[in-house]
Amino acid sequence: MKLHILGCYAATPRTLTNPTSQVLEIRDHMFLIDCGEGTQVQLRINRIKFSRINHIFISHLHGDHFFGLPGLISTFRLLGRDKELHIYAPKGIKEAITLLLKLGDSWTNYPLVFHELTSKEPQVIYEDDKVTVETIPLNHRVFTNGFLFKEKLRERKLNINAVAQYKIDKCYFQSIKNGKDIILDDGKIIPNKVLTFDPAAPKGYAFCSDTGYFPDIIPQIQKVDTLYHESTFLESEAHLASKTKHATAKEAAKIAKKADVGLLILGHYSTRYRSLDLFKEEAMEIFNRVALAEDGKVFEF
């Protein structure tokens, strides 16, 4: 699992900082999470292939999280895309995007599929044989969701030495990896656990931005491997966090500690601060497994 941070700052784009956008690579998928202004430029700078993006997840309809989407949709058209593009976002996204396409007479030449979200309860919005994606309802000024990406359990790994010892034909390998026992010609049953090793534990990634301090999410993200949680402010501006329904670095750390996550990544910083290290210092007073998001940074899990 690999996470590309394309942008991790709040509000307006600047020459050296970008609003929220991420790409998560997980089990042969490349998911785009939020699409702030300048996202397609960041995709090019970070050498991420546009063609691999088939699913885009938008947390909420504030501009710093989706104003890059119309341009990206248009660029896909110019590049001759023919594959479906699925967009998961709050209700209203279809109206906003289709109005722009209509006014510019620039309808896509590929299927554009909108999945408009309205539920205030967690719901699975994408699932295949490898991963699931579910919403994490957040507490912001407008309807907002985070997203929980979870691997499904992989097939078991063959114990090649054991398979060779019992002279098992290759035609049975897939059923063994699927968890089946094997019956030999003499009727002896070889338990699957003798022929295989446990697969790697499935990983999970939780994206939670934008939100105020919201302990309601803790049961859903309990023990997730990696949590990205917004930390717009430091404690010195906690009054602004409460007013705008954003979180401080310490509040993000409290969520991480109570949920016992593997790693907390801080992001969505206000640009008023001179150093990102201040965010990490404050968070680590509460929780000691903290990393800082930075534009262009890649995390591998």
Asked if 240 and 168 touch (Cβ cutoff 8 Å), the reply is no
Nearest-angstrom CA–CA distance, 188 and 176: 15
Annotated binding-site positions for Zn(2+): 60, 62, 64-65, 140, 210, 268
Domains of the chain: 2-154+200-300 (3.60.15.10), 157-197 (no CATH)
Which candidate, 117, 126, 54, 55, places its Cα nearest to that of 89?
A: 117
Share of the chain above pLDDT 70, in %: 100
Residue 22 confidence (pLDDT): 98
The three state secondary structure string of the chain is CEEEEEECECCCCCCCCCECEEEEEECCEEEEEEECCCHHHHHHHCCCCHHHEEEEECCCCCHHHHCCHHHHHHHHHHCCCCCCEEEEEECCHHHHHHHHHHHCCCCCCCCEEEEEECCCCCCEEEECCCEEEEEEECCCCCCCEEEEEEECCCCCEECHHHHHHCCCCHHHHHHHHCCCCEECCCCCEECHHHHEECCCCCCEEEEECCCCCCHHHHHHHCCCCEEEEECCECHHHHHHHHHHCCCEHHHHHHHHHHHCCCEEEEECECCCCCCCHHHHHHHCCCCCCEEECCCCCEEEC
Per-residue pLDDT tens digits for 255-269: 999 999 999 999 999
225 is catalytic: no
Torsion angle, alpha carbons of 117, 230, 48, 61, to 10: 30
Average pLDDT over residues 183-209: 93
Asked if 207 and 145 touch (Cβ cutoff 8 Å), the reply is no
Annotated binding-site positions: 60, 62, 64-65, 140, 210, 268
Asked if 236 and 270 touch (Cβ cutoff 8 Å), the reply is no
Which candidate, 40, 36, 97, 23, places its Cα nearest to that of 63?
A: 36
Structure tokens at 288: 């000691």
Average pLDDT over residues 153-161: 92
Cβ-count burial of 186 within 10 angstroms (0-12 exposed, 13-18 middle, 19+ buried)? exposed
Residue 206 confidence (pLDDT): 98
Per-residue pLDDT tens digits for 79-106: 999 999 999 999 999 999 999 999 999 9
Residue 234 confidence (pLDDT): 98
Residue 58 confidence (pLDDT): 98
Residue 244 confidence (pLDDT): 97
Average pLDDT over residues 139-158: 96
Burial 61-94 (b: 16+ CB within 10 A, else e): bbebbbbbbbbbbbebbeeebeeebbbbbbeebe
Nearest-angstrom CA–CA distance, 39 and 44: 9
Lowest mean pLDDT among 34-43, 86-95, 127-136, 186-195: 186-195
Length of the chain: 301
Q: Which of 28, 64, 128, 225 is catalytic?
A: 64
Residue 219 confidence (pLDDT): 98
Average pLDDT over residues 46-54: 95
Average pLDDT over residues 48-68: 97
Q: pLDDT band for position 149 (50/70/90)?
A: very high
